Every structure is written in C-alpha cells, then in structure tokens.
Amino acid sequence: MITFEGVTKRYPGGTVAVDRLSLRIPSGRTTVFVGPSGCGKTTSLRMINRMIDHTEGTLAIDGTDVREVDPVLLRRGIGYVIQQAGLFPHRTILDNIATVPFLLGWKRGRARGRARELMELVGLTPELAKRYPYQLSGGQQQRVGVARALAADPPVLLMDEPFSAVDPVVRASLQDELIRLQSELHKTIVFVTHDIDEAVKVGDTIAVLRPGGRLAQFDTPEKLLAEPADDFVETFLGYDRGVRRLSFFPARQLRLRTHALVPQTATAAEAGATAARTEEPWLLVLDGERRPRGWLAAARLDPSQDHAPVDPATPVGELPLTSYGHVFQVGQDSLRAALDAAVLSPAGRAVGVHEDGTVAGVVAQTDLGEAIWAVGNEDDGTGPAEGAPDAAR
C-alpha cells in the first residue's frame, strides 16, 4: 500500500503543485490519477519514486517513508513507464528491457533470459530482440517500455500517461493488454492520465485531482460516474457520464425477445403471419447456422400496404434485407454496448448474440429503456460498486 498523508509539493517560488494530498493506494490494484493539466497528477506520481521530492507530509510505501530510502535504490525497485517510452536509443530492445536487472548486478545471461520472457509476456516477437528502438513502431516501443518496467518484477509500477502518444487504435489495444497483464500480475499500479475514459477503463480506483493539486474525489469508477462529489468532478467526467456508467452493468440482465426471429427458409407468407401475430414491426432473418442475416420490415409483407407486392411463396432469405448493424455479446458485453447496438441498428433494436455468433435474441427499445431506468434507480442505493476504496481522512 502506498500512503499519502498531507503530502504537499511547494516549489521555492511558492507555487504549490500538490496540496495536502491524502490517500491510500491499495496493493495489487490499479489506481488512476486523473485531472486536467496543472492538477499535479504527474507531480504526485513522481513523488512516489522521488523523481520529485515532496516538501510536506508523509509518503510511504508499505509503511516505509520514501525519504528514508536512497532514491537510486528506491527507483530500481519501482517500475516506471513514460509517455514516449523513453527507450535508450543506443541499446537493443533486449538490453533496454534488461536495464534494471543489469543495474541490480544480475549476470548477463540471466538478465537477458528474463528480458526474453518479458518480450513474450508483453506480446513482442523474439526477432525484435536484436533491433534498436528506432526500428520499432510507437506501439511496439511502448510495449518495450512496459517490459522494461516489469523486468526486475517490482511490486509497484508507475505509469505516466503511457499511452497518450500512440494512435487511438493502438492505445485501445495497449489498454486491453495492460488489463490482461494486471489480471495475471497483480501489481500495485499508479497510472496517470488526463483521459477520463482511459481512467474508467483501466482503473480499479480513480483519484480525480483539481487544478492547484487538490484531491477532488477518490472512488471506484462506478461510484465516480454515479455520484460525482461536486460540480468540478461532474464537469470533468463529461456530459455522457450517464451513458458511460452503463458499461458497469451487464447486458445479460436484458430481456431477449425470440418470437420475431425467422429462418431464411421461411416464406414471405409465414413471416407475414409471424409479424401479424407478434405485432413486431421488424423481423430478424437468420441463416442456416442461426446467425443474423438482416432485418426485414414487417410492413413489406403486409399486402394492404402500398408497394410492389411480394410473392407469398418467396423465402425471406431471397428478399432484400436491411443490414443488422453491429451486435452485442449477451454474456460479456455491458448495457452500454447493447444501447450502442440499438442506437446504430436501422431497426432500432439490438441484436444479442452468443459467443459463437448465433443469435440469442433481440432487445426492444422499451426493454432497454427499462433496464437503463433501473440503473438510474440504483443511484439511490450503493450501486453495483464493490465498495468504495478507503480514503484516508
């Protein structure tokens, strides 16, 4: 556990970068410092490994005051990842990763062996070992940065906006990778970002800092989105925090309708009968493997409507269908993904699929609305959070 107790950083000119910060960063979890520029989040991070020394208060790692440890030795025991990876351009990828083991005096072979293990762990192919940093893409360099930070297996990992210099697609995959790594390694990660979406995605707990270096709120992402402590936090979270909150609620609680599914071999007459019986305006046509093929508007099958008549004997698979858009996975996805699928669906309905891609059912807007309304109601209680992190004081 990393404890901040009234930690302040005051520069000689009188500027206060961090103002009486008190919080407990739990071990084995990911804690994110987030806030606008000038909120002191990076300063707070760097005070942990004494890249910056705090001026007041106490900062301790597992009960040991960081000021009582030699900074050089302290840093060798704490992994550090920075924005542009900060790789040493004159060292090969393998030797970059082995930097801390070398500094700790490991034998060359052991250090490099460990570096090879880490390359595999972070998803770098072994051919890259002998390359130099300039020969790697930004995303690969960042993976090397993470591997270097993990090389000596430090219990604590500091990450200073590690993914903000790469493009959004690479960033998303690096975030997923970090979440996967953390589920295996259980490090105490302190992660700095200015991006609230990133914070919500990777963080177990989030500390929102406000300009002037004061703590605005320290909570789980769920709690933060549900109950922002004040206007500053609410504004910082953005106008769509309600929608974002839906990502903490599973889609499996939604009611799935299966009565409006028709196989592609059904005739237009049969489909028309189904539509009339269920009063569903859209039917989802399935292929032979129960995978979605497309939407069929019930109106097209109604002979009383004013349009080119459809031969009642035609299989619906041969009629022009409307694209089913994108689907959500019933078992894994959240309400947010289901809502997204419904919004993007031409039929206004979300298609839920099983892991193998077969259709589980369709969610109508009314059912989705009810589920979202239920989420809103949970705000009166404690919400789905596993309990707020313990904030000091």
Partner 1 sequence: MPPDEPLVRWDWVLSHLDDPIGTQLAEHLRLSLIPVLLGLLIALPLGVACARWRRLYPPVFTGINVLYAIPSIALFFLLLPYTSFTDWTAIIPLTVYTLSVLVPNVVGGLDQVPAHVREAATAVGFAPVARLLRVELPVAVPVIVAGLRVAAVASVSMVSVAALVGLGGLGQLILTDGFQRQFPTPIVVGIVLSVALAFAIDGALVLLQRALTPWARGRAER
Strands in 214-219's sheet, in edge-to-edge order, are: 78-82, 156-160, 188-193, 30-34, 205-210, 214-219
Q: Bridge-partner residues for 24, per DSSP?
A: 3
Instruction: Report the residue number, 49 or 193, with the smaller CB distance to partner 1.
Output: 49
Q: ∠ CA 91-123-166 to the nearest 5 degrees?
A: 75
Number of Cβ within 10 Å of residue 118's Cβ equals: 23
CB of 59 to partner 1, least distance (A): 16
CA separation (Å) from 38 to 32, 44, 160, 206, 230?
A: 16, 11, 14, 17, 19
Q: What is the DSSP letter of 207?
A: E
Instruction: Report the residue number, 97 or 353, with the smaller CB distance to partner 1.
Output: 97
In this structure, are residues 39 and 197 in contact, taking their beta carbons and an 8 Å threshold? Answer: no
Q: φ, ψ for residue 28 (rounded to 5)?
A: 75, 10
**Can you read off the two tokens belonging to residue 71?**
């900074």
Q: What is the rounded CA–CA span in Å between residue 90 and residue 42?
A: 27
CB of 203 to partner 1, least distance (A): 22
Q: ∠ CA 45-50-55 to the nearest 5 degrees?
A: 90
Instruction: Report the residue number, 9 or 241, with the smaller CB distance to partner 1.
Output: 9
AA identity, residue 144: V
Tokens 């309400």 correspond to 335
Instruction: Report the residue number, 17 or 319, with the smaller CB distance to partner 1.
Output: 17
Instruction: Report the residue number, 73 or 392, with the smaller CB distance to partner 1.
Output: 73
Instruction: Report the residue number, 87 or 296, with the smaller CB distance to partner 1.
Output: 87
Instruction: Report the residue number, 73 or 179, with the smaller CB distance to partner 1.
Output: 73
CB of 253 to partner 1, least distance (A): 45
CB of 175 to partner 1, least distance (A): 20
CB of 22 to partner 1, least distance (A): 25
Q: Which residues contact 216 (CB under 8 A, 6 or more apart)?
A: 35, 208, 209, 210, 229, 230, 232, 233, 236
Instruction: Report the residue number, 95 or 367, with the smaller CB distance to partner 1.
Output: 95
**CA dihedral of 298, 302, 305, 306, whole degrees rounded to 10:** 90
Instruction: Report the residue number, 51 or 60, with the smaller CB distance to partner 1.
Output: 51
CB of 346 to partner 1, least distance (A): 45
Burial of 173 (0-12, 13-18, 19+ CB in 10 A): middle
Instruction: Report the residue number, 34 or 82, with the smaller CB distance to partner 1.
Output: 82
Q: What is the rounded CA–CA span in Å between residue 34 and residue 272?
A: 54
CB of 75 to partner 1, least distance (A): 4
Burial of 51 (0-12, 13-18, 19+ CB in 10 A): middle
CB of 370 to partner 1, least distance (A): 50
CB of 93 to partner 1, least distance (A): 11
The residues of the shown chain that bind partner 1, judged by CB under 8 A, are 49, 51, 72-76, 80, 82-92, 99-100, 103, 132-135, 145, 148, 158
CB of 123 to partner 1, least distance (A): 21
